[in-house]
Amino acid sequence: MAVADQIVLLGYLALIVGLGIAFRGQKNLKEFFLGGNRIPWQAAAMSGIATMLSAVGYVGAPGQAYGGDWTYLQLRVAYPGALLIAWFFFLPFFFRLQVYSAYEYLELRFDRKTRLLAATLFVFLKLFYAGVGIYAPALIVVEMTGLPFWAVVTAIGLLTTVYTTLGGIRAVIWTDAAQFFVLTGGLFAALWFVLGKVDGGFLGAVHGAYDADKLKFWNFSASLDTEFTFWGALFGGTFLLLSQYAADQSEVQRFLTTPDLRGSRLALGWSLGINALYGMILFFIGTALWVYHQQSPPAGGLPAPDQAFPRFILDEFPAGWRGLLIAGVFAAAMSTISSVLNSLATVFLRDFYQPLSGREGSVKLARQMTLVFGLAATGISLYTDSFGDILVAAGKIRNFFGGSLVGAFLLGIFFRRANGFGAFWGIVAGFAAVAALGYTTGISWLWYSVISTVVSVGVGLWLSNSAPEPPPEKLHGLTWTDRKAVRPS
């Protein structure tokens, strides 16, 4: 790597770690986990965009387009519905109840065992997802330096863990905001350099991709086995997004740091909108890169899809600019990992430690658990290559766990008859159903979340009818029908 690249990359890393450390000194858990509810919505939005992009998307999206077509992007049709559901039904409850963790709602509405089960599923979901998030940028660094994979993974994981441990959610959000600009600069620099290599520029890339059917977007097949279809994107994608933005603590927590509900909604809406645009750009980069390689085949043949963009960065970018793109990949990874680690610490203290020990906990304990989870995620990332294509792997992990959690929240908000007995076993049934589907059928992973949600709600309602009705304190202010009722003090 050229000296200019090293200067850019090391300068970025020093800036981010220094910025994170500057936010240390929290006096209580509300500051460590929610930033004292003083985060501007614009910062929360930029943090959401940076986290949603992630290194999984930054590397995986061009790889997905390079190796296939644009049918993955049919997921965008689910954005409006998922956004409206989260806006009008989920966020208001979380804000009104002033919770730190989304799963606190499940104990208020149902019982403690349901809350603990949901929190446990979340911990497993995010640990594996963080592993994928560390693995993706490590691919580039290994290619660049020739260092052992385990050493690169360890360095990325620990560096992010350090500033998240010290700075809490403020460090997460404000470093994400800085990383947003690095990501954006790297994204448009990549687009510029890729199109500069294609004969005919932008139009040449479009014509070459169109002739090869690389821009295929819609697939209206009714087959459940086809990986990306319109119907899978519309229904499965909606519940996939809900599992991320309504039942995933690492996303919900960010939007609870704003001073009011209006700011939370604005942050979520802008995050989804800008992310949709960035996703299109990343796919176009991958498609244009494929056209370039058809025009000028690389020595040794075409690279594997997930290696195409990293190799182009390292082989074709000028010194200095290459460092910016690598810094962009680091930014995408670190923004995702830091959010996950802070949310895991939140869930541990609020959903496990406090209810089971009867003690409040401390900032010191929150930092210790952030460190523990950072080490665990780093270890998991060493085995992520067994998951397959990294963009699809991330979606599979989220869909495998998330649908059951969405089902529990839908039961609580919309069905007054639902109780803790039904909700708990509904989550178990939903998870068991998707596990059985995943191992015994060829159904596309996009359907996992919607199927597990339907099973969770159906089983939950059925079993709730065999148990006593919920008492008034489990309904007042906790269901959509009773949302305006005053909760007992």
Task: Dig out the tokens for 63 from the structure.
Answer: 């790889």
What secondary structure does DSSP assign to 318-332, as a single string? PTTHHHHHHHHHHHH
Residue 367 belongs to domain spanning = 3-387
What are the Cα distances from residue 83, in Å, to 160, 218, 450? 29, 22, 16
* Element (DSSP H or E) covering residue 215: none
- Asked if residue 259 belongs to a domain, the reply is yes
CA 389/CA 431 separation, integer angstroms: 23
Per-residue pLDDT tens digits for 104-131:
999 999 999 999 999 998 898 888 878 8
- Asked if residue 56 belongs to a domain, the reply is yes
> Is the CB of residue 229 less than 8 Å from the CB of residue 223?
yes
CATH number at residue 254: 1.20.1730.10
Task: Dig out the tokens for 151 from the structure.
Answer: 């050493």
Task: Dig out the tokens for 312 from the structure.
Answer: 């182009």
- Asked if residue 360 belongs to a domain, the reply is yes
Return the exposure string of 165-184: e unless at least 16 CB atoms fall within 10 Å of the residue's CB, then b. bbbbbbbbbbbbbbbbebbb
What secondary structure does DSSP assign to 46-108, as a single string? HHHHHHHHHHHHHHHHHHHHHHS-SGGGGGGGGHHHHHHHIIIIIHHHHHHHT-SSTTHHHHH
- Asked if residue 394 belongs to a domain, the reply is no
Per the document, the length of the chain is 489
CA 344/CA 250 separation, integer angstroms: 8
Among candidate residues 125, 32, 20, the one with its CA nearest the CA of residue 360: 32
Burial of 439 per CB tally in 10 Å (0-12, 13-18, 19+): exposed
SS3 254: helix
- Asked if residue 477 belongs to a domain, the reply is no
**Statement: the pTM of the whole predicted model exceeds 0.75:** yes
- Asked if residue 453 belongs to a domain, the reply is no
What proportion of the chain, given as a percentage, has pLDDT over 90? 58
- Asked if residue 425 belongs to a domain, the reply is no
- Asked if residue 177 belongs to a domain, the reply is yes
Burial of 287 per CB tally in 10 Å (0-12, 13-18, 19+): buried
CA 272/CA 358 separation, integer angstroms: 38
Domain count, the chain: 1
What secondary structure does DSSP assign to 175-211, as a single string? HHHHHHHHHHHHHHHHHHHHHHHSTTHHHHHHHHHHH
pLDDT tens digits, the chain, 489 residues: what are they?
788 888 988 898 888 888 888 888 888 999 999 999 999 999 999 998 887 776 667 777 899 999 999 999 999 999 999 999 999 999 998 988 999 999 999 999 999 999 999 999 889 888 887 887 788 777 777 776 677 888 888 888 888 999 999 999 999 999 988 888 888 888 899 999 999 999 999 999 999 999 999 999 999 999 999 989 999 999 999 998 998 888 889 889 999 999 999 999 999 999 999 999 999 999 999 999 999 999 999 888 888 887 888 888 888 888 888 888 878 777 777 888 899 999 999 999 999 999 999 998 999 999 999 999 999 998 888 876 655 555 455 555 555 668 899 999 999 999 999 999 999 999 999 989 988 887 888 898 889 889 999 999 999 999 999 888 899 999 999 999 988 776 665
pLDDT at 53: 73
> Is the CB of residue 43 less than 8 Å from the CB of residue 188?
no
What separation, in Å, do the N-terminal and C-terminal C-alpha atoms of the chain show? 62
